[in-house]
Structure 1
């Protein structure tokens, strides 16, 4: 082809570029028309399963046994036999109260008993002597009756003084204050030399048994009522009595506890019911008054579905729905009830049936009634043209001639305009 003048050459280049772009556009349209078809989606088949209904509730630790050490007699503390914060055993002496007055009371009671017995012996001998004389009418029967009555009075006096002796001995024993239970004792609230009384308000010390230990859990009475109704209706099965704990720092407590009982009383101020669990505490990690969280299974849902989280969506009103594979391989929107999760799945209690194919992949821009090509969720999905081009560029493959021609056309057009 011969040389063109300065006006014809740019026009010729423009025509060539436009024809190339037109051919590429037609080719792209044909490719898109070939790719158009039902949207490929991945699905999973639903089957009913059992899922535990777990509750995470707050609670407080309570000592298994707690006892206040109190004096039962009045006196001055002479000695203290324990170390504060140590472990004491039941019956171990803790305090010694001055026993002088109580020892003297015992000695006096013993003397009274001895005197009463001597009086009894004399009265009994007199009554025994008067008996045959009264039978022979040597003395009046009234004299014998009086002698016998005096003997009985002397016998009662012995019993009375013996009881006073027992009381004095008990009071003397109370001057030594033992540990009422085994456990860890706190600080001493009274020192040596302090005067203590039997009716004082403040204890001498407090002993607590911490192994095992109780955890009092607070649950809403409304939630407990709902659970009991579900159990009565047969929708759920009873759970286990095993309880796990989370400590105040968020860590898990290493031992598993057992639920003991539920109180039959609702706290009027909080509207909660107390559940008590028992935990081993060999290392003394749990102390009375600590705030913990208890995780336990109160019931088991026996007929629910586990739906992957990516399959469940919510509308503007907050209601949950999923897409399922409907008749004729068309997407069908299904309203479901899902109010909690278990692991990485939603627990669906209504809206699905066994055998439903819930769509988990390809739900973007999916509409109810749209034709779909369902495949199991584990199957590889088909890539569109744009994705193939991206993969090709990343892999270092050559781009299509149309892209190259388009680039050449745009370059030629720009060159002509610059010329």
Structure 2
């Protein structure tokens, strides 16, 4: 009896997959299509919140750095030489106009006054004698008792004596002035600094070293620096009516001190320099501030908020609606009338509160995307809903 042949293992491996494929094909053929397959529905456009831009009337301010300088500074120097006998003030105290500060030894100058007084008396006596001689000679000359030459000589002597009186009086005035200079006084009201020379020192007239410095601090100057380009733009805006201000050089300023606190008194811009600094490209604006409490001292660094003017053409865009392009330029998304997103590059170089003051790239009536711009791109269609923002500067 012959044993049945067994299939080779490789043949069994090939038959299995073939049978499975035939079964799947038969199953597919049994399901008849009931109709065409429906296309997937397109997603709805993303929703965004927009704000419609409108021109507003707002004050325009600039933040400028500056330093305080005294309103007036006087270096006190002696006008006559001598021994410095007394100091008549306390260093750092406030002094009034004409208040004595130093006393130079007056003894030599008092002697000079007495000497000048004696010279004047001698000259006046000589005038008296010469006047009597002239009167006698005139009488004798009419009687031809003296010659005309003698009379003319006597009159010349009188005129010389009178000139000597004038000279002696001038010398006496000079001596008295020098005596007055021995008491050194303050020419302005202000606050004194440190005394440069101690009592007992010998001083000379108009010496290089000052005895003391007196600075007037009320009011006080603040010198601010502003880029020349910003100053030109500001004046151009005023000329074109974009900014309204009484004068191109007069403006109100308020100070922010080094500790961040606000200075309580407002100041006023007085003038701007006519020369641009070649190193920094900026000009200096000088403002004057009242300083009744002596809170501002010379040399302090401050920041000033300068009111440039008022504009009624301002377009304010919330800062959260502005992003940056890869090149670092400010940009915003705008929804046009067809609901399509446009990308706009802006010109915005000034912050007003929580907004950007836009001077280019946007127009009144544009709808700027305020929320939801993370889900959109230029050219996409969106569903825009009008939103609201807080007032500028709040």
Corresponding residue SS for 1:216? strand
**1 or 2, which has the higher helix percentage?**
1
Higher mean Cα deviation, 75-84 or 219-228? 219-228
Alpha-carbon displacement from aligned partner over 1:345-387 (angstroms, at most 9, x marks no partner): 22222233322222212222313343322222259xxxxxxxx
Higher mean Cα deviation, 347-356 or 202-211? 347-356
Choose the corresponding residue for 1:182, options 177, 189, 209: 189
Choose the corresponding residue for 1:246, options 249, 256, 263: 256
The CA deviation at 1:233 is 4.0
Choose the corresponding residue for 1:296, options 303, 306, 318: 306
Distance 2:97 2:337 in 1: 77
The answer to whether 1:219 aligns with 2:229 is no
Q: Is the 8 A contact 1:321 1:333 kept in 2?
A: yes
Q: Is the 8 A contact 2:75 2:212 kept in 1?
A: yes
The answer to whether 1:82 aligns with 2:92 is no
The answer to whether 1:277 aligns with 2:287 is yes
The answer to whether 1:332 aligns with 2:332 is no
* Residue aligning to 2:318: 308
Q: Is the 8 A contact 2:191 2:216 kept in 1?
A: yes
Choose the corresponding residue for 1:197, options 201, 204, 218: 204
Summarize the Cα distance change of 1:339–1:167 in structure 2 as closer, same or farther, 3 Å threshold.
Answer: closer
* Residue aligning to 2:105: 98
Summarize the Cα distance change of 1:159–1:273 in structure 2 as closer, same or farther, 3 Å threshold.
Answer: same
Distance 1:284 1:93 in 2: 22
Alpha-carbon displacement from aligned partner over 1:256-295 (angstroms, at most 9, x marks no partner): 2111111222334443322111112222221111122222
**Aligned ranges 1:314-325 → 2 under 5 Å:** 314-325=324-335
> Any runs of at least 4 consecutive aligned residues in structure 1 with deviations exceeding 4 A, and if so which?
none
The CA deviation at 1:301 is 4.4
Q: Is the 8 A contact 1:303 1:349 kept in 2?
A: no
**Aligned ranges 1:7-406 → 2 under 5 Å:** 36-238=43-245, 241-377=251-387
TM-score (norm 2): 0.81
The CA deviation at 1:161 is 0.8
Q: Is the 8 A contact 1:62 1:288 kept in 2?
A: yes
Distance 2:279 2:342 in 1: 49
Higher mean Cα deviation, 179-188 or 216-225? 216-225
Summarize the Cα distance change of 1:65–1:306 in structure 2 as closer, same or farther, 3 Å threshold.
Answer: same
Q: Is the 8 A contact 2:341 2:382 kept in 1?
A: yes
* Residue aligning to 1:4: none
Distance 1:323 1:289 in 2: 47
Q: Please provide the CA RMSD for this pair.
A: 2.4
Give the gaps of 5 or more residues in structure 2. Answer: 1-37, 390-394
Distance 1:185 1:79 in 2: 16
Matched residue pairs, number? Answer: 348
Higher mean Cα deviation, 120-129 or 170-179? 170-179
Distance 2:216 2:57 in 1: 40
Summarize the Cα distance change of 1:308–1:150 in structure 2 as closer, same or farther, 3 Å threshold.
Answer: same
